[in-house]
Amino acid sequence: MTKAVREALNGASEVELTVTGRRTGRQISRPVWFVQEEESAFLVPITGSDSQWYKNVRQTPMVQLSANGTAVSSTATPITDADRVNHIVRMFREKYGSDQFDAHYPKHDVAVQVSLT
């Protein structure tokens, strides 16, 4: 991970996620919460596997994350293994608080890993 990306994400509560629409092919951006572990950012779609941006990532895994004026383009890898998803959910609860996470994320059956290298 570059120093600029590390500094941009450090202390950020959300990133701007840009995906390619699976029907339109247009670039679609939205703010999302994230957690970092080692050289990756992890995202949890609010409505889990029903989330439109998650469905877009499954079709076109190239995404862009941006925060504080710095952007990184990378491949997003869907995570469906329950143990890995639960580990990521625990990190989200730790970062944002269990009450906030549970209030905003009614379904968390999947996650997405985005390499930051």
The per-type count for the chain, helices as H runs and strands as E runs, is: 4, 7
Query: Strand (E) positions, 46-100?
Result: 62-67, 70-79
Per-residue pLDDT, averaged over 27-56, amounts to 96
In contact, 28 and 21? CB cutoff 8 Å: yes
2 pLDDT more than 90? no
11 pLDDT more than 90? no
| Mean predicted lDDT score pLDDT of the chain | 94
pTM (predicted TM-score): 0.94
Tell me the domains of the chain and their CATH numbers: 3-115 (2.30.110.10)
59: amino acid identity, one letter: Q
In contact, 30 and 53? CB cutoff 8 Å: yes
In contact, 48 and 35? CB cutoff 8 Å: no
Confidence of residue 38 (pLDDT cuts 50, 70, 90): confident
pLDDT (tens digit per residue) in 63-114: 999 998 889 999 999 999 999 999 999 999 999 999 999 999 999 999 999 9
- Percent over 70 (pLDDT), the chain: 98
Give pLDDT, residue 1: 53
